[in-house]
Structure 1
């Protein structure tokens, strides 16, 4: 008996440990590359030596610039990368939807070695060890060349903030300094984000005579404009023996290295924010909009739930306005609206801005364009004092916003290769200002103003690698910069890879596309919807399709004839004494349910995202639903389940919000299921439309209609948006 129980639980145990397995085990398109780890192991001592130079020349000056005033003497006294190298868990090379001039590689990088760092600050010494680091690194090889070395350069960046943890050692009384530990953690995270999290990247040129703007200054995919509208039914985390209150929720939003935060709503489990934000999206394929809700407390804020929105999906749809169920909590939903904005090089798009009226009523400025700036280098800077070589940086300002380059230590010919981005609302009368400053003396080394109207006269609204002069008195220093203006235009829904219904239905049937339904009969003309036929019969889908007939495979099409008993089991109880005792004002019709009843239709769409291994199910709406209430009304919602073909075991279950008093509900709800591509072959999706009407305390929710779709039958792992007839639930 013990052996049998162990066998039955084997799959559950494996699935529970799946997240701890390397990527090459979880995903078939990710390859194990142990040879790379052997190469890294041999290179590690040399990587450790270079890391010391890198920390001293680049990291430490930036850390000092961000530390509070009393901690300006912070420094590393020991930097040892240890003997245990980082590891690459798996590699995926993209072969589709990639430009011919580049190669894109994603790598799962993890480090849990024996590195040891010692720091000194305010007269105290301490250290960091037990450093753990993991994230997905994207390497882009571009441009590809027809001559050796075949690749112009390599850029590396993390798509999202990598996970990092470490311990402080030997800090003693240093820990008591107010805010020091939080300041150190904040500085480390900000340095990682500024160094190698999108849109920032590390670039290594490999060939001479390559346009540096292609390597260091790639154009983003677009801008995502989003509105955090409201949340409902959040968990209450403020209940205790001392006080009774409600959560004080706020939202934190992240897109790559860009962070945003809403205001806090006090004592409200159904907060309304109506706050607007804009974020630049460098690579929609792979980036996500991540939102976390927290309960603000005097101590540590508690998480109320989280969700992520695939930006590739937002770009494809143009606009998404929906309620999302929160993850990582018992209950709660968040209502957000996201809109994709494309970038345009046309002056006419700047002059004529057409947005939806809602964005014009935003609580903060909504911008019409973005300004991108790339500072390549400066030459022949003046000395701030006699015989004192400067450590320069450049400040770039537009209006009240100022950004700056890293500090280059002791040089009059700094190479910055830094990029900046500004959101612009009105171009008229604005100037882009540059000022070189010495970090030691804080003296100006020269300035430059460029009116934005100059860029409007340039082809494609840009100046590429243009030389200007930083002026300080009579002294002039050449500065090489690239500037671009891009108008924001609202994106339109993109056509799916699968052609629209009515033109591609035949092809899907020809590729063994099939939908499991409870009855094989049809009710007259299909109006272009999917028609289920009896096994081994031929179907004439449309006379306009050249009268092509397709023979359905008996083995692939599964007829389901069992009637649903559970959908009406409350009817039998309604006449019982206990049923009458708890019965509400709603009563069921006294009717017999037949398999050929018209139960209405449901409009759905299914996509599989290979980047995130997510099965995306869009439940759009229903129409002409069957009712069981005597008043001929219903309160429908849709239960979405993913079920194993062998044994009907549920591996995922969620439901949409309930629509009130309608037979034609509009849900527009999207469900994302994390699923291994290999599991698509042995699972199906079950959608049950249920009635949330109260028919009594012990009455089950009646099933108004059901639909089952085998995932191994989907052409290209997709189902184009369409109406499909509902049927009796399969038992």
Structure 2
């Protein structure tokens, strides 16, 4: 057989001759001819069947998009791989986008010596990583794919290649660390030449160019006096690492934007479940160390996240006249914890008012990421949601301030901002603060918020009953606190299973909540043992904990035990600081806010012809009725806020204040219950209260007395309108129901505004009484008005009083 020799140039070697047989050339020519015949045949078939040209254009467009997308990813992967193979000097000179951490941060040390060690160790690490992927990742991926109706996932070949991970820098913490541990952050980057193949539903696919990049924290603890001097190591990523790979083979058909992402997302989730905070990968180095010291969860606190609203988002939906609006929702990521708000239809200024609580296991380095999307219906199970922007904020500054209220500008978006409020809840074992925490949490009227945190370690079970056939059970433990349920892995064919697994639960109320634990047999689906533990019992224990000990299992054998350890942490709100005047300090005063500037033109001034109408908010008064009545504040309807109630004591008073024009001070004006006010326009009774924890201004319109009736045949139909000044924006408008034919209407309606303490001091309430019947003059239906300056008094305690109504000072806009 004839042969032809080609010369191939190797950049590191001389010209190398490569043999190519004529049979290979014939095969290549035949394949090329077949593709051309297939293309011509497809075009002929489309014309012959009189099909639309869209049948041809659609696949061509998708193919072009796919090729372009793959080229961009391939270029990125090649650059990353070149970086992993290059030495330190080459990396700097290449000016690659993702430079090592030591280039930017002076406290990060270079680690070229460590990279050389890893290169020598890589063959051994390679074997360990293969076993870990096969034993841990494969079952989890297979289980996750079941949700997408995809079965039979298994790895066939796992070769991680010859390119080892690269350390971009190492930072060792010397301050604010325990003497019993060493903490260091490692900038880990891996862009290997792996060769991985798998089967999914009988179809073979492959993965190549696998890449992972993230900040890996290494905690060496506890330090011991025997060799190896370190009892164990905890490995975990502070935040989700960046993971990417390329699908090959038949699976390459799925590698389209939105389709191939499904497999990537599942792999990221499984890595996060294994070693992204609050999950840690513990490694024991000494037999003298108890596993509970490495595997017992050790949270540092709870971060309460209030996703309030967003504004000026991009329009992604297509309307009749071009771009419509969006159906935005927010996704919050903290390590492996993911939360999502509901979607608000057809708006670019959504108001979510949604609360989340996240466990924080490390104040140093963790970030909160907010991602906004426009919801669109999925097509063939593929997510079609459009990206609206991203914003991030570090946990550390929130811990220092205690509370943070700010607008974040969205990145990777043309425009848009998101309004968030963060509260840091520290951990305490002082039971005296529990009642205060419960009270403050109940004020928020969000029923699923927590007051405590339970850390639990499931060590093992003993003497579980066997089935009738004397076969040992395949057991796993299921733990529940309220609506939160978690479970251990399955231990096969064992009546004394060992799990050694830690869990954390957020507890709404430890005085009433219960931990439920069941041991299940996977083969039969039956319960082989269970127990209930009242968390109130922990409140009487020393340090609110029980050390590892066996507890009796019910509905099981007489000697069946479960060995566990538990510790209860009580959540503690940050202290509310007071300024020199005794008012609430503004926690946002040090923030640069886009909406906090109040211009001189926004201050409300009254016309000089009405000097007696210049009045400010009333302070608490001493004269109250001896028998106060109770009033229930109704909650605005929301899918996120449960139908809970909050009782306030309404102190109905019969006195009033007015401003002294000469010295601009407040003086008491004697009134009676039948008083029609200073200008004879009647009086309105209001309750005003500000909830610091909820960041809510609550306004209750109770009733109006003695509205004027100039025409006995024309009784007014009054209602009340409320605006926040100085903007008087449409979003701040609130309105009561209309009461027909009544000069003394009773409303008892509650309204809420979401305001930070800093915003509260810059706002005024404009309360206007309006009638649907115009009785004063043509086109004017305003019966009276009152302006209340919210920055002049402390409304953290409910204030209820009567306010005189005055003639309008400016035109009211609907």
Query: What is the CA deviation profile of residues 206-243 of structure 1, one whole-angstrom value per residue up to 9, with x for unaligned ones?
Result: 22333433321242111111211111111222358985
Alignment partner of 2:138 out of 22, 47, 60: 60
| Equivalences for residues 104-143 of structure 1 within 5 A | 104-143=183-222
For residues 250 and 473 of structure 1, the distance between their equivalents in structure 2, rounded to whole angstroms, comes to 47
Partner of 2:485: 402
- Verify: 1:231 aligned to 2:310, yes or no: yes
Query: What is the CA deviation profile of residues 51-102 of structure 1, one whole-angstrom value per residue up to 9, with x for unaligned ones?
Result: 3332333333333333327534321121111211111111001112222221
- Verify: 1:157 aligned to 2:240, yes or no: no
Which range moves more in the overlay, 418-427 or 90-99? Answer: 418-427
Tell me: CA distance 1:318–1:410, structure 2 relative to 1, closer, same or farther (3 Å): same
Tell me: CA distance 1:605–1:425, structure 2 relative to 1, closer, same or farther (3 Å): closer
1:156, distance to aligned residue in structure 2 (A)? 0.7
Partner of 2:476: 393
| Partner-residue secondary structure (3-state), 1:53 | helix
1:346, distance to aligned residue in structure 2 (A)? 1.8
Partner of 2:613: none
- Verify: 1:33 aligned to 2:116, yes or no: no
Question: TM-score by structure 1 length?
Answer: 0.63
Tell me: CA distance 1:622–1:231, structure 2 relative to 1, closer, same or farther (3 Å): closer
For residues 299 and 158 of structure 2, the distance between their equivalents in structure 1, rounded to whole angstroms, comes to 36
1:415, distance to aligned residue in structure 2 (A)? 2.9
Partner of 2:425: 341
- Verify: 1:308 aligned to 2:392, yes or no: yes
Partner of 2:434: 350
Instruction: Confirm or deny: 8 A CA contact 1:62 1:407 kept in the other structure.
Output: no
Tell me: CA distance 1:232–1:36, structure 2 relative to 1, closer, same or farther (3 Å): same
For residues 51 and 278 of structure 1, the distance between their equivalents in structure 2, rounded to whole angstroms, comes to 34
1:162, distance to aligned residue in structure 2 (A)? 0.6
- Verify: 1:319 aligned to 2:403, yes or no: yes
1:315, distance to aligned residue in structure 2 (A)? 0.9
Instruction: Confirm or deny: 8 A CA contact 2:530 2:556 kept in the other structure.
Output: no
For residues 104 and 405 of structure 2, the distance between their equivalents in structure 1, rounded to whole angstroms, comes to 32
Partner of 1:91: 170
For residues 182 and 296 of structure 1, the distance between their equivalents in structure 2, rounded to whole angstroms, comes to 17
1:487, distance to aligned residue in structure 2 (A)? 1.6
Which range moves more in the overlay, 23-32 or 325-334? Answer: 325-334
- Verify: 1:470 aligned to 2:553, yes or no: yes
For residues 142 and 244 of structure 1, the distance between their equivalents in structure 2, rounded to whole angstroms, comes to 56
Partner of 1:288: 367
Larger Rg: 2
| Partner-residue secondary structure (3-state), 1:353 | helix
1:483, distance to aligned residue in structure 2 (A)? 1.2
| Partner-residue secondary structure (3-state), 1:120 | strand
- Verify: 1:252 aligned to 2:336, yes or no: no
Instruction: Confirm or deny: 8 A CA contact 1:156 1:196 kept in the other structure.
Output: yes
1:359, distance to aligned residue in structure 2 (A)? 5.7
* Bigger relative contact order, structure 1 or 2 (CA pairs below 8 A, ≥6 apart): 1
Partner of 2:124: 46
| Partner-residue secondary structure (3-state), 2:444 | helix
Instruction: Confirm or deny: 8 A CA contact 1:604 1:620 kept in the other structure.
Output: no
Tell me: CA distance 1:326–1:170, structure 2 relative to 1, closer, same or farther (3 Å): same
For residues 188 and 102 of structure 1, the distance between their equivalents in structure 2, rounded to whole angstroms, comes to 31
| Equivalences for residues 640-655 of structure 1 within 5 A | none
Partner of 2:64: none
Partner of 2:416: 332
Which range moves more in the overlay, 390-399 or 305-314? Answer: 390-399
| Equivalences for residues 668-679 of structure 1 within 5 A | none
Tell me: CA distance 1:429–1:271, structure 2 relative to 1, closer, same or farther (3 Å): closer
1:375, distance to aligned residue in structure 2 (A)? 0.9
Count the aligned residue pairs: 510
Instruction: Confirm or deny: 8 A CA contact 2:465 2:556 kept in the other structure.
Output: no
| Partner-residue secondary structure (3-state), 2:196 | strand
Which range moves more in the overlay, 480-489 or 142-151? Answer: 142-151
Unaligned runs of 5+ in 2: 1-91, 378-382, 581-586, 606-724, 728-755, 760-814
Instruction: Confirm or deny: 8 A CA contact 1:372 1:422 kept in the other structure.
Output: yes
| Partner-residue secondary structure (3-state), 2:477 | strand
For residues 51 and 80 of structure 1, the distance between their equivalents in structure 2, rounded to whole angstroms, comes to 10
Tell me: CA distance 1:82–1:361, structure 2 relative to 1, closer, same or farther (3 Å): same
Instruction: Confirm or deny: 8 A CA contact 2:327 2:343 kept in the other structure.
Output: yes
Instruction: Confirm or deny: 8 A CA contact 2:366 2:394 kept in the other structure.
Output: yes
Tell me: CA distance 1:29–1:449, structure 2 relative to 1, closer, same or farther (3 Å): same
Instruction: Confirm or deny: 8 A CA contact 1:429 1:451 kept in the other structure.
Output: yes
| Equivalences for residues 454-493 of structure 1 within 5 A | 454-492=537-575
Partner of 2:509: 426
Partner of 2:248: 169
For residues 142 and 443 of structure 2, the distance between their equivalents in structure 1, rounded to whole angstroms, comes to 40
For residues 479 and 233 of structure 1, the distance between their equivalents in structure 2, rounded to whole angstroms, comes to 55
Instruction: Confirm or deny: 8 A CA contact 2:441 2:451 kept in the other structure.
Output: no
For residues 176 and 104 of structure 1, the distance between their equivalents in structure 2, rounded to whole angstroms, comes to 39
- Verify: 1:207 aligned to 2:207, yes or no: no
Tell me: CA distance 1:393–1:72, structure 2 relative to 1, closer, same or farther (3 Å): farther
Instruction: Confirm or deny: 8 A CA contact 2:187 2:214 kept in the other structure.
Output: yes
For residues 411 and 80 of structure 1, the distance between their equivalents in structure 2, rounded to whole angstroms, comes to 33
For residues 419 and 311 of structure 1, the distance between their equivalents in structure 2, rounded to whole angstroms, comes to 24
Tell me: CA distance 1:668–1:101, structure 2 relative to 1, closer, same or farther (3 Å): farther
For residues 416 and 231 of structure 2, the distance between their equivalents in structure 1, rounded to whole angstroms, comes to 49
| Partner-residue secondary structure (3-state), 1:476 | coil
Partner of 2:101: 23
| Partner-residue secondary structure (3-state), 2:152 | coil
Instruction: Confirm or deny: 8 A CA contact 1:384 1:443 kept in the other structure.
Output: no
Query: What is the CA deviation profile of residues 660-714 of structure 1, one whole-angstrom value per residue up to 9, with x for unaligned ones?
Result: 79xxxx9979xxxxxxxxxxxxxxxxxxxxxxxxxxxxxxxxxxxxxxxxxxxxx
Partner of 2:274: 195
1:200, distance to aligned residue in structure 2 (A)? 0.5
- Verify: 1:435 aligned to 2:518, yes or no: yes
For residues 467 and 113 of structure 2, the distance between their equivalents in structure 1, rounded to whole angstroms, comes to 51
| Partner-residue secondary structure (3-state), 1:352 | helix
Tell me: CA distance 1:452–1:667, structure 2 relative to 1, closer, same or farther (3 Å): closer
Instruction: Confirm or deny: 8 A CA contact 1:30 1:91 kept in the other structure.
Output: yes
- For the aligned residue pairs, the C-alpha RMSD in angstroms reads 3.8
Tell me: CA distance 1:206–1:172, structure 2 relative to 1, closer, same or farther (3 Å): closer
| Partner-residue secondary structure (3-state), 1:265 | coil
1:459, distance to aligned residue in structure 2 (A)? 1.1
Tell me: CA distance 1:238–1:71, structure 2 relative to 1, closer, same or farther (3 Å): closer
| Partner-residue secondary structure (3-state), 1:82 | coil
Instruction: Confirm or deny: 8 A CA contact 1:341 1:490 kept in the other structure.
Output: yes
Unaligned runs of 5+ in 1: 1-13, 502-602, 607-615, 632-658, 670-731
1:183, distance to aligned residue in structure 2 (A)? 5.1
| Partner-residue secondary structure (3-state), 1:304 | strand
